[in-house]
Amino acid sequence: MAHIHLAWEIGGGLGHAARLKTLARVLLARGHRVSLSLRDLGYTQRVMADLPVPRFQAPVWLHRTEGMPPNHASLAEILLAAGYLEVPGLAGLAEGWRTLFTLLEPDLVVADYAPTALLAARTLKVPTASVGVGFYSPPADVALPCLRDWEGVAQQRLARAEAHLLNVVNAVLEMHGAPELLHAARLLLGDAPLLCTWPEFDHYGRPAGGGEWLGPVTMPAGGAAPAWPPGTGPRVFAYLKHDYAGHAAVLQALVEEGCRVLCYLPEVAAGRAAPLRSPSIAYSAQPVAMEAALAGAALCVCHGGEAAVVQSSLAGVPVLMLPMQLEQYLMARRVESWGGGINGARVKPDGDWRAVVRLLLDDNRFRTAAAAFAHRRGDRTALERAERVADAFERQVAARR
């Protein structure tokens, strides 16, 4: 059996940890040895506490990089601000990963948004694979795409950022006698890129025939049983964050349109005062079992994170997406393009949210599109999708033996 190391380096939220936990369980069940490196050991403890594998702190960039554009226009600019601007800083991060891999001696390194783990493995000739959503699994062997095509970003700016990134990366590779990279995308993809999403959720809008789409890898259903407010109005499940400026206005619109709302707002669950009190809103004190909540829902309201959008779409439930950052915005724009919901970024925080809610509830095109997606993609369970990814890991290990 093989030793497979799963690594997460960049990005926030629990999605990375949840995906790696699911894969770790599948690999353990097959008899493999598994170890993990996580960007955040503390925040992920509740998710990872029952997973019987060694966990390590991932070497991560801790500093603010000055002089970068305020809005990152490509993955190259994101990485430049995450430790890739200068050779010494990246060399230090790479050395941390090299030390870890030298001690652990993995047969395969799997990266979930962990480019420096892939870089270090390349210097040690350790096979690599990458898993994750489309955002940080860009098209291979071409220039990194613009992430803000609506802003008219100059091509020279994109090319300059990618050239600088490659110069720094290749300088570190040269230090260890490793072959250079010709395209920056390979820094994120490794030897075997495994696209754990579907075209309907791909941030780059790649065609369905543009590679093997393994589908999202998510954790098994969990959380509190849904407890809906009394009444007969349409049920709406809302997963919101306090930092979104319009969250109270959206909740108000839902109430005024006669909805019964089950809302998980982590800040309220932690003790903050609710943004709106109404007999039509039930605030959950803990994360809700989304599969059960969505089974009877007419609408889901979230910020456009992959897990919530995927689960809603698989349940045939339209989504009102309220993106708070670039990755979520691109997801919302993509889902809106095929009719699965509405991208709330097109609505001002003080805009007419009642009209948006009414449209999603009354226009049957949204539910029809979501139902068609569920029929098209619901043939495999989350566990079956994870098993397919594990199959790919085993094929890669076997090819090297």
CA–CA dist 354, 351 (Å, integer): 9
The CATH number for 144's domain is: 3.40.50.2000
Domain membership of residue 394 (yes or no) is no
Q: Verify that 188 and 260 share a domain, yes or no.
A: no
Domain membership of residue 13 (yes or no) is yes
Domain membership of residue 395 (yes or no) is no
Q: Verify that 273 and 346 share a domain, yes or no.
A: yes
Q: Verify that 116 and 243 share a domain, yes or no.
A: no
Total number of domains in the chain: 2
Question: 68 by DSSP, 3-state: which?
Answer: coil
Low-confidence ranges of the chain (pLDDT < 50): none
Q: Verify that 19 and 152 share a domain, yes or no.
A: yes
Domain membership of residue 59 (yes or no) is yes
Among 195, 227, 256, the domain-final residue is 195
Is the separation of the CB atoms in 95 and 76 below 8 Å?
A: no
> So what's the pLDDT on residue 22?
95
Q: Verify that 174 and 262 share a domain, yes or no.
A: no
CA–CA dist 248, 95 (Å, integer): 47
Tell me the C-alpha to C-alpha distance, in Å, between residue 276 and each of 151, 227, 253, 289.
35, 18, 11, 23
CA–CA dist 18, 305 (Å, integer): 13
Range of the domain at 117: 3-195
CA–CA dist 248, 259 (Å, integer): 15
Domain membership of residue 228 (yes or no) is no
Domain membership of residue 211 (yes or no) is no
Task: Note the Cα 48 to chain centre separation in Å.
Answer: 17
> So what's the pLDDT on residue 130?
97
> So what's the pLDDT on residue 221?
63
Q: Verify that 67 and 152 share a domain, yes or no.
A: yes
Domain membership of residue 205 (yes or no) is no
Q: Verify that 191 and 253 share a domain, yes or no.
A: no
Q: Verify that 147 and 241 share a domain, yes or no.
A: no
Tell me the C-alpha to C-alpha distance, in Å, between residue 33 and each of 4, 60, 75, 104, 192.
6, 24, 32, 11, 20
Q: Verify that 70 and 172 share a domain, yes or no.
A: yes
pLDDT (tens digit, 9 = 90+) per residue, 289-333? 999 999 999 999 999 999 899 999 999 999 999 999 999 999 999
Q: Verify that 151 and 18 share a domain, yes or no.
A: yes
- Residues across the chain: 401
> So what's the pLDDT on residue 190?
96
Q: Verify that 13 and 153 share a domain, yes or no.
A: yes
Q: Verify that 189 and 50 share a domain, yes or no.
A: yes
H/E run at residue 321: strand 319-321
Burial class (CB in 10 A: 0-12, 13-18, 19+), 27: buried
Prediction pTM value: 0.93
Domain membership of residue 243 (yes or no) is yes
